[in-house]
Structure 1
Amino acid sequence: MQGPSRKILQAVLYESIAITVLSPSIVLIYGNGLAHAGALSVMLSASALLWNVLYNSMFEWWEARQPQRARTLGRRLLHSLGFEGGLVVLLVPLVAGWLGISWWAALVTDMGLFVFFFFYSLAFQWGFDRVFDLPESAKEGASVNP
């Protein structure tokens, strides 16, 4: 599977699993109701979904132009750090406002989410690539689109 359909499926699966894990976790940590936590999870995931599609498009554009195109552990770590680091910057204001906490507390919350999702992202993308094959950008000898 390649192209936009791959990117959309990857992003939707990733975020669906994230909502399922994130909502009960917010309830346990902040004591909010499941509806309140679920709404925040959906907003976080919708934001992350848009970021996911944009970030993966940029990453694959960059990756396709590298002399060595294999998805090594180092490249997977770079991918996860960039994706999750970008989310921290994007989501601190949303978390602070929705939970009624300071930006510092929201940053600490986001850093906790970063740690969890860093490993989740790494494992998910590896599994996704195993099930759906690598994108053309990560295949040695594949043509690079201008």
Structure 2
Amino acid sequence: MRNTADRIRQAVSFELLGIMIVTPLFAWIFDHSMGDMGVLVVLGATAATVWNYLFNLGFDHLLHWRRGDTRKTVPLQVVHAVLFEVTLLVLLLPVFAWWLSLSLATVVVMELSFAAFYMIYAFVFTWGYDTLFPPRQPDCEA
């Protein structure tokens, strides 16, 4: 198990490294300045973090109200993940389109590219982090 300090180091390093990789990469791919893309990447990461908290809070309250508990089955976890991503996309689309002076269709491609990048990045980062900082195994009692 990881302690709180390790979890914070992991989360902060994940975000900072992700921003350092995705900003120049997407500035180049989508032909925009590092400044414009940097603002969007930081805004997107911040919005995703805040929305994650609010969405999960609302989702859990809805589950508790409808079912009396907040446990999620696998199908409900899939619905939860898809709804989170779709609602985040809807929230960010107009801001990204306005900031970059792009059409909504172009920004949808950009957002889907961000999602694909971060899915692969999360896998690689987690593997690398676990290799560099292996999680401590819990003590087993006989």
* Same structural fold, with TM-score higher than 0.5 when normalized by the shorter chain: yes
Tell me if structure 1 keeps the 8 A contact 2:97–2:104: yes
1:51 Cα deviation from its structure 2 partner = 6.3
Contact kept in structure 2, 1:18 and 1:45, CA below 8 Å = no
Q: What is the CA distance between 1:98 and its match in structure 2? A: 2.5
Q: Determine the C-alpha separation between the residues in 2 that align with 1:13 and 1:141.
A: 30
Call closer, same or farther: CA 1:103–1:130 in 2, change over 3 Å. same
Q: CA deviation at 1:97?
A: 3.3
**Stretch moving more, 88-97 or 120-129:** 88-97
Q: Residues 119-130 of structure 1: matches in 2 within 5 Å?
A: 119-130=120-131
- Residue 141 of structure 1: CA displacement? 6.2
Q: Which residue of 1 aligns with 2:26?
A: 26
Q: Any stretches of 5+ residues in structure 2 without a counterpart? A: 58-70, 72-76
Relative to the length of structure 2, the TM-score reads 0.59
8 Å contact from structure 1 (residues 23, 34) kept in 2: yes
SS where residue 98 of structure 1 aligns? helix
- Distance in 1 (CA, whole Å) between partners of 2:30 and 2:122 is 24
- CA drift of 1:110 comes to 1.3
TM-score scaled by length of structure 1: 0.58
Report whether the alignment pairs 1:8 with 2:8: yes
Paired residue type of 1:40: L
1:122 partner SS: helix
* Paired position in structure 2 for 1:112: 113
Equivalence for 2:88: 90
Gaps of 5+ in 1: 59-64, 66-77
Rg bigger for which structure?
Answer: 2
CA deviation map 1:57-76 (0-9, x unaligned): x9xxxxxx9xxxxxxxxxxx
State the secondary structure of the residue aligned to 2:102: coil
Q: CA 1:107–1:135 in 2, change beyond 3 Å: closer, same or farther?
A: farther
User: Deviation of residue 122 (structure 1)?
Assistant: 0.6
Q: CA RMSD in A?
A: 3.8
Shift of 1:13: 0.7
Distance 1:10 1:87, change over 3 A: farther
Q: Which residue in 1 is equivalent to 2:62?
A: none
